[in-house]
Structure 1
Amino acid sequence: MRNIQLDQNMTSPEAFLGYPLGEWHLRHDQINFYLNELAKQSNKVSLDNAGMSHEARQQLTAVITSEDNQRNLTKILQQRSLVKQGESQQGPLIIWLAYSIHGDEASGAHAALAFSYYLAASNEPWVRELLQQAVVLITPSQNPDGFDRFSTWANNHKGQVVVTDDQHREHVQDWPTGRGNHYFADLNRDWLFLRHKESQGRVAFFHKWQPHYVGDFHEMWHNQSYFFQPGVAERVYPLTPKANQVLSEKLAQFHRQALDEAKQVYFSGQLFDDFFYGKGSTYPDINGSVGVLFEQASARGQAQASSNGVINFQTAIANQFATSISSVQGALALKSDLIEYQNNFFSHAKTDNQARSKGRLIRAYNDPVRRDELINLLTQHQIKVHYLTKSLFHSGQEYRPIDSFFVADTQAQSALLTALFDKRTEFTDPTFYDVSTWDIAAAFSLDVVPNVTPDIDLLTESPMQYHHINLSNNLTPPWPENTVALLINWQQSQASGLVHQLTQQGVQVKFAKQDFVVNNQQSKPQNFVAGSLQIPLKQTHKTIEEVRQAVWKATKDWQLEVVSVASSASVSGMDLGSDDFVTIKPINPMIISGYGTDPFEVGELWYFLDNKLSIATSLVNSERINSIELSRYSHIFMTEGSFNNMNEVSARRLGQFVQNGGVIIAQKGALNWLSKRNVLDESLQTPRYYKKLFNTDGLKFSDQAAFKAKQHIGGAIVNVNLDISHPLSFGLPKQLAVLKNKPLAFENINTPFTTAASYQDRLLSSGYMAQEYQRAFANQPAMIAERKKQGAIVGFTDNLMFRNIWLGSEKAYSNALFFIPAGL
């Protein structure tokens, strides 16, 4: 910290800890305790809370400003709430500095404590001016659970003598690393998708304060130096205003000066981009703010040798402190520019008439839960939606209040709305730091009709009650005494959770192998797709009343529509007593985890099973597969990965597990491992095969980067055709869009009736994918179920629940859990 005069009545981080800041890695509770101490000691500091992490850690932010502003925070927040309405701004500049969203990028959080103390204790004239004209928000840790996982690791492996060897355990974390949160998710990819508590609280905090400037502090590979934006000019998302990048460059002048004074080398304009709006430095850009990314070379402990010399944790903290100062100084100097930029961004909002404007008519066919998930997501992003008061007909299609809604194009958040539904396929520079597309309509498998102007009488901003009965308050099962069976359409997302809940209680649940039509209690024909559930009321081990009560509780727990029928006779298709209704067995799944597996994909599966379906799920590290009894599990999940800890013995045991009736559900890299070891009969076209498709003739040495970018699939959305008569495809539409980020596909399948889905001939839905890949993937199998004696292997060449936002295709995993192998 610079040699300045500080208020001696304030407790410094060093005095609070009893040792120099950075000598040991902080825990999250120490951070929160220190922020509370600052708030107690200074009238310039108060605290804001962005909610809890998955592991119940508070996400605190220090709100630092003048005493006058502190007294007027309520008024200031009221003023901030008017920004999106296009009102002329009043009140102070809002600066948000957010650190360590990746838990193992710890220098930012430590610098945040030092900087909070500095602003609270300093009597320098420029700091007094800053706090009079601005509110500075400092969030030291945006990933409390991952941060504590890393700090424990780093402290546990620190010796009395600093070890700089990059192979030392201090610098090589165990699986999973501290990068992700409790479910191993990368929270810096979740700003748009909001799958996790931490992200939901953080985005609510953003919109509450509507900052003018956001500093996003990270760490990168230890062999690099220091980066700050702007990034690569050609890789800015086209919806980001050009004025945003102009301001980023003006701010960069302050960072250059600060780091030059510290003799710290740096770079900008390279490597990192401003493209995917799901990150902390880009989400502000599509929401009227200016976000700036900072990346410090990481010590991943106390000190680590690198190609630039030894990276020291104390130096890393000092660099992040320096750019924290340059951030607030730059923002203060550009105050009028930042306010003008935000005013211009929302200037259209004042004259918008949403109710009479064109917009998108959106339908999640027969699935109110998927519709409500999207409405909840849009609402968290401050995007206004309108419910339908009655059915709306468009181009011969019915859009019902129960599964459809309307979003007006002209509203304050119109830029973000456009970005969420963007389907572009052409780009100036096909290099992407993350995904090249995130079309939310594809992720949710929605029917979207643009440019619709509904009758205003059909719209309401209030949620509608669509159930025929009040599921939450009615204590008595509503089904008539003559009911013989209860039926549930499998197209409803929550049906999977109900199946598991009932089968665990010993209630018999059957699934339909074909479509069928029955008369409901009102003697009206009702269609049910293959996979739909039947619960006979007369069961061997339960009384009729026990079944009714169990199903009624599950119906309320999972908010499902249940149809009662008074006869087993069908209108068309099989009768309810047919052998084509198959009893579902209770399940006990396991996910292979640990070294050699992708923690993100493991975490996504765990989140889905644990958080969404309430299924107790075992995570078992790959090195233990040879020593545990596999027969206790019904299904084993395998994700992307090398599975280096597993050998031929592992392969034989997994093969025997399947033959004895178990199911392996494998995706991406796991398929290659299973195929090479003859557990899976079908063969795959791997990345090595696809590399041969690319021609280098005529390319110069300087073309290497562009050629590499062409070969990379950063994340494109592709179309697949489904065989909806196959059990893996039950409840899904005939066509589906999935996120593809790895060059992998099955070769032509030799075994008949194995393929459940294949890539379309017209492959690309949105994003970037080289023509070589598009031609090669076309018509190749993408989803299979290979029968092996009593069991089966399910194979997905893509991650069908990418970042837990791909709600449109995640049902394939439920199908694999409940319908395989019985449905084959």
Structure 2
Amino acid sequence: MTFIRLLCLLLTSLILSASLSAQPAPSKLDLAMGNIQLDKNVTSPEAFLGYPLGEWHLRHDQINFYLKTLANQSPRVSLDSAGLSHEARDQLTAVITSDKNQRNLIQILQQRSQVKQGTSQQGPLVIWLAYSIHGDEASGAHAALAFSYYLAASQEPWVKQLLEQAVVLITPSQNPDGFDRFATWANNHQGQTLVTDENHREHWQDWPTGRGNHYFADLNRDWLFLRHKESQGRVAFFHKWQPHYVGDFHEMWHNQSYFFQPGVVDRIYPLTPKANHELTEKLADFHRKALDEAKQVYFSGQLFDDFFYGKGSTYPDINGSVGVLFEQASARGQAQASANGTVTFQTGIANHFATSISSVQGAFALKQALIDYQAEFFSDKQPEDQVRSKGRLIRALNDPARRDELINLFSQHHIQFNYLTKSLFHSGQEYRPLDSIFVADNQPQQALLSALFDKRTDFKDPTFYDISTWDIESALGLNVVPNVTPDIDVLTSRPMQYHQLKLNNSAAPPWPQNSVALLVNWQQSPASGFVHQLVAKGVQVKFANQEFSLQQTQNDQTIQKKFVAGSIQIPLKQTGKSIAEVRQLTWEAATQWQVDVIATTSSANFTGIDLGSDDFITIKPVVPMIISGYGSDAFEVGEIWYHLDKKLSVPVSLVNAERINDLDLSRYTHVFMTEGHFSSMNDISARKLGQFVQNGGVIIAQKAALTWLNKRNVLTQEVQTERYYSKLFNSDGLRFSDQAAFKAKQHIGGAIVNLAVDSSHPLTFGMPSTVAVMKNKPLAFETHSAPFTVAGQYQDKLLSSGYMAQEYQRAFANKPAMIVERKGKGAIVGLADNMMFRNIWLGSDKVYANALYFIQAAP
């Protein structure tokens, strides 16, 4: 049977059987394949489930059990894993190919491991079809099961030929935790009679939706940043197989139809090769033919783009593959009314099944072109045979942990780098083995390397489906010097033993017995978690309200150790604990958090305050809470939760907004408020929060939460919002057709801006004088403010990278961006931007630890 005939049979059975007045219609997958010769030893999805595929939303464990069933029954199928999700669900992939190829998978994988070396490619074409990275876009995962069965069981000549010459990787669910959250919701609200009303609970998920993972993160924005386990496993899987073609299957708004790439031509990132665009267009012909035969309307070249490399359809494009995005109108349940008629779950499954077939047929027809494209992509990116190589010298000043975060990111993306064996000096700055590395430009992953550090402010089309920039130098707060050519004898590929704790294998504390105190420079990122561990164990920990230094003798040389404001002192003589106990607890915490601890034998410092000064302030225990639930932004709530939970190991309560009125807030020290409208909170909530601050509590509020607090007189500082800034834009003389461009101009999709920071303010202790942040909302504080409240403001020339209209740039210049407003015994910390954007903004996320530990006690 031909591909088109099979497709028509399947689509007809799925679409015509969808009744709006009865139980959800069965997919009839077996019936649709009735005229196809199938391997009877392979169980169909319907036989496995005991009901037609799509009648109920599957759980992730059912998907995995079915993949295991196929692997046990068919010699064409084996399994691979991209690792566990946060909730320990296995991300399985069906590896489908001929029996002969299955027996040679080790050799095939060895061949794939040579791809980046630019050698002539051997072995089969590799096609990866990945579905449902957003957990509530479930039609993809169900189509994946149908397609896995079809490839495993079909005896058609074209399928056999495909599997002889190709390996097809099928990953049904890329977000197991969100997928199960949505499946439970949809099934719980599905009745015997279908309800198509978009307001029905089945189609209107509770907070948080199934889109995000365990920490509510959008995993389809995490391919570059790799903050989450699912992403880390998925990118490792990508580089293991180095596919030639990647299909990325999604759902979109129910009032739309069906989309496949190419997207908007003028919004392709400039580093993507032209040949990639051309292959995407050739592949599109196969999708057009398939959907035309099925009478399914579709569109291309609009709405979606190939810009941000942190998505599943674009990450392949900067790594030698061709990625293609598919978007199906979503039923978000079984059936939902839309502007184009009723959208059904069954139709979504059928459409994604159709483009799964067109994907493998298109990729197979273009097999040689895809292989040649990938070979050429890497052939001109091989290191030159030379002693010295030009590249970037990178430093995370006094913070090896941030440097190591970059190293970890490079390693996962297969970017080559070198450690330093000794210090390098460039433009009067020292780059030490402690906190610096060198990365050569000329290497197999040079395209991705360039993309990570790319900065641009000019764009042909200033419209972006996601952010307009993601410069990793700004995100991690790095010092980067390009075009450096160091001597080869200062470079090594082996990790340097730079840290005193890594050098000391003793379980006993290494500090002199006559030490009077232990000191930690606050510039170290892990110091936040270190402090919490000690305070939680009852150890007295103090922070310095100003900078200081001390003299030490090392190797018969006197050196001066500088400590920034915010640096930590642990007095060894404490009430209720012996000196030995304090030393041991500090050593255990320092070892766990890899914090560099300096012992001093005198309370007298070389410059600045002595250790007994009142400017060393005791840190109090913290009990934070995040206002979550309906009205709060799930992504930002998840980011703060992730940061406190995984990065600081601080227990934090997530409390829904509607419960605030009935809650005793006195049990908490800090309340976090994110972007959101907080419509379930009222004047009673505002009075409770205001009293919480008066009594000594701290509210840490960002973005729209500031507007809510200001309108209810909890926050005095005035906030300028989108309504204020909309007056800056003049529409005079514009045509009706200019509306989209005018709207795009007013949108801040994500641009990197620089803040001038008051490093003497407790909110910014340990941070440099200039900090880059991701800005994605038109909001700032009014210039006028009470004395000593501003901790940071936008620079006069603020734009570092990305798109931001000139009107915004002029309006934000010199406006306050970070404030601390004291009220009674407490304070409100106001942040105009999300300072930990997607948990990758490590150059500014110290603000949150400072707000926890320093603001409560600050004068």
Structure 1 segment 414-563 matched on structure 2, within 5 A:
414-470=446-502, 473-520=505-552, 522=554, 524-563=559-598
The structural deviation recorded for 1:526 is 0.9
> Partner of 2:809 in structure 1?
774
Contact 1:509 1:536 in 2 (8 A): yes
> Partner of 2:25 in structure 1?
none
1:174 to 193, 206, 217: 206
Q: How many Å separate the matches in 2 of 1:348 and 1:540? A: 66
> Partner of 1:265 in structure 2?
297
Q: 1:579-601 CA distances to partner (integer Å, 9 max, x unpaired)? A: 00000000010000000000000
Report SS of the residue matched to 2:380: helix
Matched, 1:724 2:756: no
> Partner of 1:138 in structure 2?
170
Structure 1 segment 651-690 matched on structure 2, within 5 A:
651-690=686-725
Report SS of the residue matched to 1:356: coil
> Partner of 1:707 in structure 2?
742
> Partner of 2:844 in structure 1?
809
Q: 1:503 to 1:353 in 2, by over 3 A?
A: farther
Q: 1:470 to 1:355 in 2, by over 3 A?
A: same
The structural deviation recorded for 1:355 is 6.1
The structural deviation recorded for 1:470 is 3.5
The structural deviation recorded for 1:519 is 2.1
* Residue type of the alignment partner of 2:674: T
Q: 1:334-364 CA distances to partner (integer Å, 9 max, x unpaired)? A: 0011011101100124453486210000000
Contact 2:624 2:671 in 1 (8 A): yes
Report SS of the residue matched to 1:696: coil
> Partner of 1:224 in structure 2?
256
Structure 1 segment 253-652 matched on structure 2, within 5 A:
253-350=285-382, 352-353=384-385, 356-470=388-502, 473-520=505-552, 522=554, 524-652=559-687
1:794 to 829, 835, 838: 829
Report SS of the residue matched to 1:534: strand
Report SS of the residue matched to 2:636: helix
| Aligned residues with identical type, % of pairs | 76
Q: 1:264-299 CA distances to partner (integer Å, 9 max, x unpaired)? A: 000000000000000000000000000000000000
Q: How many Å separate the matches in 2 of 1:554 and 1:468? A: 14
Contact 2:698 2:829 in 1 (8 A): yes
* Residue type of the alignment partner of 1:539: Q
Report SS of the residue matched to 1:764: strand
Contact 2:422 2:490 in 1 (8 A): yes
* Residue type of the alignment partner of 1:629: D
Q: How many Å separate the matches in 2 of 1:592 and 1:351? A: 51
Q: 1:706-764 CA distances to partner (integer Å, 9 max, x unpaired)? A: 00000000000001000000001100000010000000000023310000000000110
Contact 1:10 1:38 in 2 (8 A): yes
* Residue type of the alignment partner of 1:660: N
Q: 1:451-491 CA distances to partner (integer Å, 9 max, x unpaired)? A: 00000000000111112343673200011111000000000
Q: 1:144 to 1:471 in 2, by over 3 A?
A: farther
Contact 1:214 1:290 in 2 (8 A): yes
> Partner of 2:26 in structure 1?
none
Q: How many Å separate the matches in 2 of 1:7 and 1:90? A: 30
Q: How many Å separate the matches in 1 of 2:508 and 2:387? A: 40
In the superposition, the TM-score normalised over structure 2's length comes to 0.95
Q: 1:704 to 1:354 in 2, by over 3 A?
A: farther
Q: How many Å separate the matches in 2 of 1:716 and 1:420? A: 15
The structural deviation recorded for 1:53 is 0.1
* Structure 2 unaligned residues grouped into runs of 5+: 1-9, 11-31
Q: How many Å separate the matches in 2 of 1:355 and 1:401? A: 21
Matched, 1:694 2:694: no
Q: How many Å separate the matches in 2 of 1:26 and 1:593? A: 28
Contact 2:382 2:442 in 1 (8 A): no
1:7 to 19, 39, 42: 39
Q: 1:219-247 CA distances to partner (integer Å, 9 max, x unpaired)? A: 00000000000000000000000110100
* Residue type of the alignment partner of 1:700: R
The structural deviation recorded for 1:822 is 1.4
Q: How many Å separate the matches in 2 of 1:142 and 1:483? A: 53
Q: 1:419-472 CA distances to partner (integer Å, 9 max, x unpaired)? A: 000011000000000000000000001000000000000000011111234367
The total of aligned residue pairs comes to 824
Q: How many Å separate the matches in 2 of 1:447 and 1:572? A: 27
> Partner of 1:124 in structure 2?
156
The structural deviation recorded for 1:11 is 0.3
> Partner of 2:797 in structure 1?
762
Report SS of the residue matched to 1:708: helix
Q: How many Å separate the matches in 2 of 1:355 and 1:645? A: 65
Q: How many Å separate the matches in 2 of 1:108 and 1:10? A: 21
* Residue type of the alignment partner of 1:255: H
Q: How many Å separate the matches in 1 of 2:645 and 2:501? A: 29
Contact 2:383 2:444 in 1 (8 A): no
Q: 1:511-539 CA distances to partner (integer Å, 9 max, x unpaired)? A: 00000011236453211000000000000
Q: How many Å separate the matches in 1 of 2:149 and 2:386? A: 46
Q: How many Å separate the matches in 2 of 1:82 and 1:107? A: 35
The structural deviation recorded for 1:628 is 1.0
Contact 1:387 1:405 in 2 (8 A): yes
* Residue type of the alignment partner of 1:306: S
Matched, 1:189 2:221: yes
Report SS of the residue matched to 1:346: helix
Contact 1:520 1:566 in 2 (8 A): no
Q: How many Å separate the matches in 2 of 1:603 and 1:510? A: 30
> Partner of 1:27 in structure 2?
59
Q: How many Å separate the matches in 2 of 1:694 and 1:391? A: 51
Report SS of the residue matched to 1:650: helix
Contact 1:166 1:172 in 2 (8 A): yes
Report SS of the residue matched to 1:519: strand
Q: How many Å separate the matches in 1 of 2:284 and 2:500? A: 59
Q: How many Å separate the matches in 1 of 2:646 and 2:730? A: 46
Runs of 4+ in 1 over 6 A off after TM superposition: none
Report SS of the residue matched to 2:79: strand
Contact 2:497 2:503 in 1 (8 A): no
> Partner of 1:48 in structure 2?
80
Q: How many Å separate the matches in 1 of 2:384 and 2:145? A: 43
Q: How many Å separate the matches in 2 of 1:393 and 1:530? A: 26
Give the root-mean-square deviation of aligned CA atoms: 0.9
Q: 1:136 to 1:472 in 2, by over 3 A?
A: farther
Q: How many Å separate the matches in 2 of 1:301 and 1:344? A: 44
Contact 1:69 1:132 in 2 (8 A): yes
> Partner of 2:187 in structure 1?
155
| Deviates further, 43-52 or 351-360 | 351-360
Q: 1:67 to 1:235 in 2, by over 3 A?
A: same
Q: 1:745-800 CA distances to partner (integer Å, 9 max, x unpaired)? A: 00023310000000000110000000000000000000000111110000000000
* Residue type of the alignment partner of 1:778: A
Q: How many Å separate the matches in 1 of 2:386 and 2:282? A: 36
Q: How many Å separate the matches in 2 of 1:716 and 1:453? A: 31
Q: How many Å separate the matches in 1 of 2:449 and 2:772? A: 20
Q: How many Å separate the matches in 1 of 2:744 and 2:184? A: 37
Report SS of the residue matched to 1:525: strand
